Chain A
Amino acid sequence: MKAKRNTQEVLYSDLIEMLSDLFDTSSDEVDLNTSPDTIEAWDSIGHMRLIASIEEKYDLTISPEEQVEMLNVDLILGLLVEKLIES
């Protein structure tokens, strides 16, 4: 999986797949505005799962401060771009 290059498009589509797998929703229902308010399973435990899953997939650490900022898909994508592409 590492072979795939991390472009913003790839990060976005992988993120959508991750959310739909973790929260058991169709990927059609996930977009940049998706947030804990729009998906029932994205509760505080769900948020922990999501963070652990991102940390595992991209082999990075997300600090508690960053964790509370990840309020919707757009913000998460921004964080990933910052950590994985811009750095």
Chain B
Amino acid sequence: MAQSRNSDKSVELSEIKAGKQLLRDAASDSSFGSFLDALEVYQSTDNSIQAIQFCANRIKQFVRTTEIQSLRIAILSSFTLELVEPALRVREFYAGRNLSFRNFAYDQWAMELNSTGELDKFQPDVVFMILHLEDVVPLLAREHLVASEIDLDEEEARLLGLIRNCLDSFRIRQSVPVILSTFIAQERGVERFFDRRAQVSKIRRISRINDQISKIACEVPNVYVFDYAEAVSDFGRSSWFDRVAHHHTHASVSIKAMKTLADEISVFLSSIFGRRRKVLAVDLDNTLWRGIVGEDGPNGVDAGSMWPGNAYKDFQTFLKNLRASGILLVLLSKNNEADVLEGFEINSRMPLLLSDFSVVKADWNDKASNLMDVAKHLNLAPDSFVFMDDNPLEIALMQEQIPEVATIFAEGEASIFQSLVLGSGELLSPGLTEEDLRRADGYAVEEARNREQSTDHDLKSFLAGLGLCLEYRLPTRCELERITQIFARTNQFNLTAIRYTYSDVLSFIENPDTTLRIVRLEDRFGDYGLIAVVVIRSFRDSSCQEIDSFLMSCRVLGRQVEDSILAIIENDARQAGLTQLVGRYCETKKNKMVSKFYLDRGFLSSDEPGIFKRDLVKTQPMDIPDWIRVKRES
């Protein structure tokens, strides 16, 4: 993967030259799509350092004329990491982001975090920090057998104290995400055979530092941890580090590793700045088990503990973990439903149970229409889905019919299926919220509610029977991450679709002219968690208030929760003596369902499009449906 020579592939030189010329032309005059195609074609023939730099330069040229979301990344490293820039630029471009890059190397990291300087001037959107033990705790890295235990303890405490202080003082000035990295020694020394049973163990000290890094990340807001040590291990430590360059120019990471490092950084950034998809819709035969249940019978399919079934069994376990991290699973199988049910029943010791799937579609309809049905059923847009199948035809059909759905072609041995899912990065999260951990089970509870609803013809008495309780209040500190997630992900019930960031959310709490409120909902079946966010703006010397943002999770639709929230806002405005409430709507591709939200609730349209007004003097207070109990902060 890191080896970038093309010679083994025996690509014709003329082909490389043609691809290069094509890319050169596309950079000066072409659409985003055809430039991306040209980039992919050229990269598939030549992946050398020279070619990556050429691509990076063409991207720089292309973005001069085309608007692309920019992301300003500051990398603080204890060694020089300038060399990662071209590979990172290319990788970020594929992720839809235009890279602005600045590397603060050597000992600048502490100074830049501690006080206003070049880092602040750069105005980063994210700060990535990678430190090497050799640079920041040299006693431990180089001479831990010679140094005294007291000195080693002191050195360790000094480093951790410094990191913590730096982050604290940076947080006072800036609230952008900071990503810390774990530590790994550049090589194993003479202690390699006895270290694990030594009194002063190097490896144990390093793990202890890494534990403290995790602790800091939990305590300082908006700090994540990139497991650099694991990334280095995946690649191979001895090829990752370059001893000669470390001594000569302090470019301690070998240039061979730059492409991998760029990939790792970029996927991590996608998990923060990209949209995490919510559902993996997965095929059954030869994807989840070996064999075709309709032909081989329920006893003929294999996901057991022996080869080849064991690879499928492990993949199922992987999906179970994915589900636990907040991704819903959906089964899309072209089969007779009875065969599928029997297959799961007979093989009941497989990791995945039918109940792990939020929806099971086993029939002979085409998978694209089935996926659309599922999307409707789950109240999710198709772009929340990833589809995985071992049949290239199904993949191609899905891409053609619903291009918003991301696809994974389960090609080759089942042993690598999990790395295919992980490599796409679209289902990964840099930090799990309470909601993530509960999501998949939450949908199962929702199914139970639906079953009850379908047996209960009178909607009002069904709703009354749910015992809905709505909590409307200021967010707590640990809810801020979830709020940012809602701003980033909610597409359908989102009146203005402004994508506020973590920093914005923090500023709302501090600003007396903005009111940020969250809504939690529960009923007798369970807790829905944090399901809505509103931002209300007040204006000095004005008796008017404006609803800047109103977002709600679609899974609570059909209970008039949205009416209750609006009524609470409206009643609060009255109590504050205001005379007018303004609602805003900005149309996007996906939020048409709420285009008439304010009009339907007694607001009047105004001269300005998207602005709706309610006169609080001439109208009666809005009602809260009587099946919803409202809990306010005391």
Contact = CB atoms under 8 A, between A and B. Distances in A.
Interface residues of B, number: 23
A37 B57 CA distance: 21
B53 A45 contact: no
Contacts of B255: 48-49, 52, 56
A57 B48 contact: yes
Interface string A57-79: 10100001001000000000000
B13 A21 contact: no
A81 to B, nearest CB: 20
B10 to A, nearest CB: 9
A57 B57 contact: no
Contact of A56 (B16, B48, B86, B249): B48
Interface in B19-53: 48-51, 53
Interface stretch (B1-9, B350-358, B394-402, B473-481): B1-9
A48 B251 CA distance: 9
A2 interface: yes
Contact of B50 (A3, A4, A48, A53): A53
**In the complex, which of the residues B13, B80, B244, B249 has the most CB atoms of chain A within 10 Å of its own CB atom?**
B249
B50 A1 contact: no
B80 A24 contact: no
Nearest to B247: A64
A52 B83 contact: yes
Contacts of A44: 249
Contact of A4 (B13, B51, B54, B251): B13
Interface string A1-22: 1111000000000000010011
Contacts of B377: none
A1 B13 contact: yes
Contacts of A3: 13
B50 A21 contact: yes
A18 B249 contact: no
Contact of A57 (B16, B50, B86): B50
B134 interface: no
Contacts of B51: 21
Contact of A53 (B48, B57, B82): B48
B248 interface: yes
24 contacts: A1-B7, A1-B13, A1-B16, A2-B7, A3-B13, A4-B13, A21-B51, A22-B50, A24-B57, A45-B82, A45-B83, A49-B83, A49-B255, A52-B49, A52-B83, A53-B50, A53-B53, A56-B49, A56-B50, A56-B255, A57-B48, A57-B50, A64-B244, A64-B248
CB-based closest 6 A-B pairs: A52-B255, A21-B54, A24-B57, A53-B49, A45-B82, A64-B248
Interface of B: 4-7, 13, 16, 48-51, 53-54, 57, 60, 80, 82-83, 86, 244, 248-249, 251, 255
